[in-house]
Amino acid sequence: MALNQLQYETIMKTYQETRERNRHEGERRLQEVYERVEHYQELDASTGSISAAFAEDMIAGVEGTRERLHQTLEQHRRQKHDLLTAAGYPADYLAPIYSCPHCQDTGYLPHDGNARAKCHCFRRRELALLYEQSNIQNMIENENFNTLSYEYYEGEDLARFKRAVEICRNFVQNFKQDYHNLFFYGTVGTGKSFLSGCIAGEVLKCGYSVIYFSAVGLFDTLARLTFDTRDKSELSALYEDLYGCDLVIIDDLGTELTNSFVTSQLFSCLNERHLRRKATIISTNLGLEELRDRYSDRVFSRITSNYQVCKLTGPDVRMLRKRKNN
């Protein structure tokens, strides 16, 4: 899912504000030069009359008129340039002001004729909004493929973790063309949330939307909005994000208070996202049997049939890192 309409309009509004701000600054600079540089305003005002003086000859088709006009305008431009620099101003002080000269603060570059491509500055704004929306910006600053380490694993634990890393890299590499889901389970602190963060960061960099929920936070929010009869618009917006974004991460499934409402909402989420072919990552400390017993056979079936299941084992890496840092 790309930016929604409100997010797009928010970005375009910032460009409009930038253009207005730069226009006012340009006007301020011009007024300053008029006040401080003698004869500059008179020269500036005479630019239009120069073209008008040659207009009759151009209409009549007098040979050499265009060349003489260009020469006169160039001489006029140099006079203004000399006045400006002699007064101590930079030569480009009165040039149009753009925060981004590539797109001239429009957000788009000319590309292939009439088609338009997003400028890099638009992409920065777009990614900033998607990061903010994802709820995981702080997490992925520290949990990414660049900080990945195998030093706390050995033996079968190491083999499982390496396999999971390979699966995660393939998930990212094929995200655009393949519909894929991941289910991480295993003991506490073995890298399940870390790998989810690695994937999230890479997917966000590619311009896709990612939303992270802790299981507790997700179901608490759904319950609060579902049973609050005052305003359903917020619940509707949450469902649209939950069902429609490119990647949803549900972390620590099983830490919430599980009941029939939670089970129903979990199945609805998994089922709707499957129907829309939207990727989901789930991590849990529960074993597979515990998962089935707690959430019903149909939730268990949906996960085991539509998700690549990765088991992670080993020591509590978070605890080991904490001890090492202390």
Quick: pLDDT tens for 70-115. Answer: 888 888 889 999 999 999 999 999 999 999 998 999 999 876 555 5
Residues 186 and 302 in one domain: yes
Residues 299 and 187 in one domain: yes
Judge whether residue 235 has pLDDT over 50: yes
Residues 101 and 244 in one domain: no
Residues 193 and 296 in one domain: yes
Residues 166 and 275 in one domain: yes
Q: How far apart are CA 252 and CA 192, in angstroms?
A: 9
Percentage of the residues of the chain whose pLDDT score is greater than 70:
93
Percentage of the residues of the chain whose pLDDT score is greater than 90:
52
How many domains are contained in the chain?
2
Rounded to an integer, the average pLDDT of 44-51 is 81
Cβ-based neighbours of 261, under 8 Å, separated by 6 or more: 219, 223, 226
- For 246-291, what is each residue's pLDDT tens digit? 999 999 999 999 999 999 999 999 999 999 999 999 999 999 999 9
Position 115 scores a pLDDT of 58
Residue 127 lies in a domain: no
Residue 307 sits in a domain whose CATH number is: 3.40.50.300
Residues 197 and 317 in one domain: yes
Mean pLDDT, the chain, whole residue set: 87
Residue 24 lies in a domain: yes
Of the pLDDT bands very low, low, confident and very high (cuts 50, 70, 90), residue 245 is: confident
Q: How many of the other CB atoms lie within 10 Å of CB of 143? A: 20
Angstrom CA distances, 53 to 59, 67, 79, 272, stand at: 11, 14, 19, 71
Which residue segment(s) compose the domain that 143 sits in?
A: 135-325
Judge whether residue 1 has pLDDT over 50: no
Judge whether residue 128 has pLDDT over 60: yes
Residues 156 and 246 in one domain: yes
Position 168 scores a pLDDT of 96
Judge whether residue 28 has pLDDT over 90: yes
